[in-house]
């Protein structure tokens, strides 16, 4: 399908608007919309926090029927066609009497998946799909993966020295990277649906696992705290852990949901999620991811130790590695980046595709995508 330069310009603006929902729309997809008439943008909008209006409704708000009749709507995702927490956006566009709707990508949600486009076409509206599709999908990776596979997008954050070490032999690790890199991590947390770690990290570091940027730094009306998820097979998380005193939900994923320890953690405000496990000290990570997806978790940000991060990689569950590399050496006695047993031959390596490398203050940030083997899919 051919699109004009004007089409590209207006869709680029819609994608800019979608980015404004980067930290706020969970679990809804990040969508932007502009309304154009006589080659001028007359209104624009993006998806509000969950339960509030979607991008199309926000863009149409305040416009008269005279203004919208014959106009073109540029939307980064197919308008929804079902009633969920809000009414269908396809009907809002039909009622507004727009003449054309340009869509970046089709909605993978089975409740929509082409039906929104069909409703528009049946109402006599010209529909064009596929403009700047990849740019739109880049903002929707977690939502798309959850809808298509029943699994969330998993990003693993790691920090290391130039020689690939994460802590001294004693366990001392503060701070490997500088303040700019640590601040950059806060933005990664802010856009995620959940921040996940293991019991070992909780016991060793008593982490907060929250977003410590304010609404001005994020350019949002209010900071949304992602869910803190602890993988804790035996419910051994200390009730006095710092994370229970902070805003936001805490989920304990365990195989012992009916234990007295689970009851204590529940009384502290944690939601206890049971996952059946054949191993007393280990949870099946695939099932953990499925459970999180069932709870509308689109994007999981993992900050954990070498063993849990290595297990996520070896089980083929990682979509993205974000590695911060500091310009210092920690020596051969220091602890390695990942525990990944069983890699005996060069053919056992996990191959990566480097997506981005850039300086963050005095450190370097590497974003790499694992090239999954067929057996891991």
The answer to whether 223 and 214 are in contact (CB under 8 A) is yes
Domain stop point among 140, 168, 198 = 140
Q: What is the pLDDT of residue 220?
A: 93
The reply, when asked if residue 215 is annotated as ligand binding, is no
The reply, when asked if residue 169 is annotated as ligand binding, is no
In this structure, the answer to whether residues 170 and 219 fall within a common structural domain is yes
Domain stop point among 101, 118, 140 = 140
Q: How far apart are CA 298 and CA 135, in angstroms?
A: 18
Within-domain flag for 145: no
In this structure, the answer to whether residues 129 and 204 fall within a common structural domain is no
Q: What is the CATH number of the domain that holds 165?
A: 3.40.430.10
User: Which tokens is 369 given?
Assistant: 């995508």
Q: What is the pLDDT of residue 175?
A: 81
In this structure, the answer to whether residues 202 and 317 fall within a common structural domain is yes
In this structure, the answer to whether residues 311 and 330 fall within a common structural domain is yes
Nearest of 59, 74, 56, 68 to residue 129 by alpha carbon: 74
Within-domain flag for 375: no
Within-domain flag for 96: yes
The answer to whether 306 and 337 are in contact (CB under 8 A) is yes
The reply, when asked if residue 311 is annotated as ligand binding, is yes
pLDDT in tens, the chain (377 residues): 788 999 999 999 999 999 999 999 999 999 999 999 999 999 999 999 888 889 999 999 989 999 999 999 999 999 987 666 667 888 899 999 999 999 999 999 887 778 889 999 999 999 999 999 999 999 999 999 999 999 999 999 999 999 999 888 877 677 889 999 999 999 999 999 999 999 999 998 999 999 999 999 999 999 999 999 999 999 999 999 999 999 999 999 999 877 899 999 999 999 999 998 887 788 999 999 999 999 999 999 999 999 999 999 999 999 999 999 999 998 888 888 998 888 888 888 889 999 999 999 999 999 999 986 544 44
In this structure, the answer to whether residues 211 and 342 fall within a common structural domain is yes
In this structure, the answer to whether residues 44 and 175 fall within a common structural domain is no
In this structure, the answer to whether residues 124 and 207 fall within a common structural domain is no
Nearest of 300, 329, 350 to residue 26 by alpha carbon: 300
The reply, when asked if residue 80 is annotated as ligand binding, is yes
User: Which tokens is 12 given?
Assistant: 């680029």
The reply, when asked if residue 97 is annotated as ligand binding, is no
The answer to whether 54 and 47 are in contact (CB under 8 A) is yes
Domain stop point among 107, 140, 173 = 140
Q: Please count the structural domains in the chain.
A: 2
In this structure, the answer to whether residues 135 and 166 fall within a common structural domain is no
Give the number of C-alpha atoms closer than 13 A to the C-alpha of residue 106, restricted to the C-beta side: 14
Within-domain flag for 207: yes
243 φ/ψ angles, rounded to the nearest 5 degrees? -60, -25
Q: What is the CATH number of the domain that holds 112?
A: 3.40.140.10
Within-domain flag for 242: yes
In this structure, the answer to whether residues 236 and 326 fall within a common structural domain is yes
Q: How far apart are CA 329 and CA 169, in angstroms?
A: 13
Within-domain flag for 48: yes
- In this structure, the number of other CB atoms found within 10 A of the CB of residue 193 comes to 24
The reply, when asked if residue 303 is annotated as ligand binding, is yes
Give the end-to-end CA distance of the chain in Å, rounded to a whole number. 33
Bond into 229 cis (ω within 30): no
- The catalytic residue positions are 56
In this structure, the answer to whether residues 135 and 181 fall within a common structural domain is no
Q: How far apart are CA 94 and CA 1, in angstroms?
A: 23
In this structure, the answer to whether residues 363 and 287 fall within a common structural domain is yes
The reply, when asked if residue 331 is annotated as ligand binding, is no
The answer to whether 5 and 275 are in contact (CB under 8 A) is no
Q: How far apart are CA 116 and CA 240, in angstroms?
A: 49
User: Which tokens is 286 given?
Assistant: 């695939």
In this structure, the answer to whether residues 156 and 132 fall within a common structural domain is no
Q: Which domain holds residue 278?
A: 150-370
């Amino acid at each position: 399908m051919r699109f004009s330069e004007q089409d590209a310009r207006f869709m680029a603006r819609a994608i800019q608007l979608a980015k404004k929902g980067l930290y706020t729309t969970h679990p809804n997809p990040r969508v932007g919309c502009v309304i154009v008439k006589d080659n001028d943008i007359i209104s624009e909008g993006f998806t509000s926090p969950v339960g509030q209006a979607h991008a199309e409704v926000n863009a149409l708000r305040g416009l008269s029927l005279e203004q919208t009749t014959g106009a073109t709507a540029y939307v980064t995702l197919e308008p929804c066609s079902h009633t969920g927490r809000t009414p269908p956006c396809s009907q809002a566009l039909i009622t507004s009497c727009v003449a054309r709707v340009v869509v970046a990508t089709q909605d993978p949600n089975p409740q929509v998946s082409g039906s929104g486009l069909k409703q528009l076409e049946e109402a006599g509206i010209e529909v064009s799909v596929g403009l700047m599709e990849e740019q739109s999908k880049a903002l929707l990776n977690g939502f798309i993966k959850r809808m298509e596979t029943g699994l969330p997008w998993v990003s693993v954050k790691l920090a290391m020295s130039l020689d690939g070490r994460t802590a001294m032999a004693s366990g001392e690790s503060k701070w490997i990277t500088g303040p700019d890199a640590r601040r950059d991590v806060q933005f990664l947390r802010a856009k995620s649906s959940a921040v996940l770690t293991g019991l070992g990290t909780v016991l060793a570091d008593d982490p907060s696992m929250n977003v410590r940027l304010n609404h001005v730094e994020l350019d949002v009306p209010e900071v949304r705290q992602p869910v803190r998820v602890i993988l804790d097979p035996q419910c051994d998380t200390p009730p006095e852990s710092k994370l229970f005193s902070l805003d936001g939900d805490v989920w304990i994923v365990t195989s012992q949901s009916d234990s007295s320890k689970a009851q204590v953690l529940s009384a502290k405000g944690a939601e206890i999620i049971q996952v059946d496990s054949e191993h007393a000290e280990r949870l099946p990570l695939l099932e953990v991811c499925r459970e999180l997806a069932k709870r509308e978790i689109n994007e999981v940000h993992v900050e954990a130790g070498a063993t849990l991060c290595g297990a996520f990689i070896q089980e083929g569950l990682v979509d993205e590695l974000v590695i911060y590399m500091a310009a210092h050496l920690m020596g051969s006695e220091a602890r390695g980046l990942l525990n990944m047993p069983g890699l005996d031959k060069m053919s056992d390596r996990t191959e990566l595709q480097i997506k981005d490398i850039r300086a963050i203050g005095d450190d370097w940030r590497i974003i790499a995508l694992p090239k999954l083997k067929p057996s891991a899919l």
